[in-house]
């Protein structure tokens, strides 16, 4: 099965959580909007604007797998997890993995809203005052709450389990890696202050980044750099 990922070609964004899963599994996939020939944003728009798509996505990312078109990042990972061996086989574990992924999705939205608290349709500069206020709340209240939660999930683990769901890596671990990497880029001062209290998350980030396929991916041109158009943006004035 060759998977087709549809996502904006110039940012990591929400698509990156899917890219990391496909890369870790060594899956056969194409990142359609980044293909030199048929790619680009028009490839996305054909799906978003066509009235002939049976299950139209509301927004990227979406994945084409044979006849299926699947939208919503966490839903894509719910689908891919068992197929790529990135989640245990029993239903209870898959529900738990998905629950954690949905909590990460909420966290991602809150990160986004630190720089766009009023509207995704306005520039950052048009909502900078509100962004400063929201980001101050995020770094003081919400960021520690999310970090504490996932640190606690790791802490409750049976001994000898390196990953969130046990001995084997799951797509949730890859997403936590991405959160820590992105938060370090966007909020280096806040993270420097908070990381000492979350040693298990820091270790998990290191463990994921050292996995052979992930390490190769991070060094490849397929890994886009963080930038000021994605979810994680570095505005020093927002990093309290």
Site residues (vs a copy of itself, CB under 8 A): 51, 54-58, 68, 70-72, 74-75, 78-79, 92, 95-96, 98-99, 102-103, 105-106, 109, 113, 117-119, 121-122, 127, 130, 133-134, 137, 141, 146, 149, 152-153, 156
Give the nearer residue to a copy of itself in terms of CB position, either 44 or 224.
44
b/e for 107-119, b at 16 or more Cβ within 10 A? bbebbbbbbbbee
Are the C-beta atoms of 18 and 42 separated by less than 8 Å? no
Minimal distance in Å, beta carbon 72 to a copy of itself?
4
Minimal distance in Å, beta carbon 49 to a copy of itself?
10
Structure tokens at 128: 């900078």
Minimal distance in Å, beta carbon 44 to a copy of itself?
16
Give the nearer residue to a copy of itself in terms of CB position, either 118 or 168.
118
Minimal distance in Å, beta carbon 234 to a copy of itself?
21
Give the nearer residue to a copy of itself in terms of CB position, either 32 or 131.
131
- Helix, strand, coil percent content, the chain, rounded in steps of 5: 55, 5, 35
Give the nearer residue to a copy of itself in terms of CB position, either 154 or 224.
154
Peptide bond into 155 cis (omega under 30): no
**Furthest-apart CA pair in the chain: how many Å?**
52
How buried is 93 (Cβ within 10 angstroms: 0-12 exposed, 13-18 middle, 19+ buried)?
middle
Minimal distance in Å, beta carbon 78 to a copy of itself?
7
């Amino acid at each position: 099965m060759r998977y087709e990922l549809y996502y904006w070609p110039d940012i990591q964004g929400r698509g990156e959580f899917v890219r990391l899963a496909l890369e870790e599994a060594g899956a056969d996939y194409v990142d359609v909007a980044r293909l030199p020939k048929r790619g680009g944003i028009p490839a996305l728009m054909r799906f978003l604007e066509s009235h002939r798509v049976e299950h139209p996505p509301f927004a990227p990312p979406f994945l084409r797998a044979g006849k299926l078109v699947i939208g919503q990042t966490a839903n894509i990972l719910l689908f891919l997890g068992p197929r790529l061996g990135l989640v245990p086989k029993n239903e209870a574990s898959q529900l738990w993995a998905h629950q954690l992924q949905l909590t990460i999705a909420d966290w991602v939205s809150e990160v986004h809203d630190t720089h766009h608290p009023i509207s995704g349709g306005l520039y950052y500069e048009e909502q900078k005052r509100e962004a400063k206020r929201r980001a101050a709340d995020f770094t003081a209240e919400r960021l520690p709450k999310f970090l504490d939660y996932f640190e606690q999930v790791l802490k409750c683990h049976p001994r000898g389990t390196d990953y969130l769901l046990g001995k084997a890596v799951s797509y949730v671990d890859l997403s936590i890696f991405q959160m820590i990497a992105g938060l370090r880029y966007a909020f280096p001062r806040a993270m420097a202050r908070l990381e000492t209290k979350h040693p298990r998350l820091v270790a998990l980030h290191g463990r994921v980044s050292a996995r052979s396929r992930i390490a190769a991916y991070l060094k490849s041109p397929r890994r886009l750099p963080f930038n000021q158009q994605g979810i994680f943006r570095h505005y020093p004035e927002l990093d309290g």
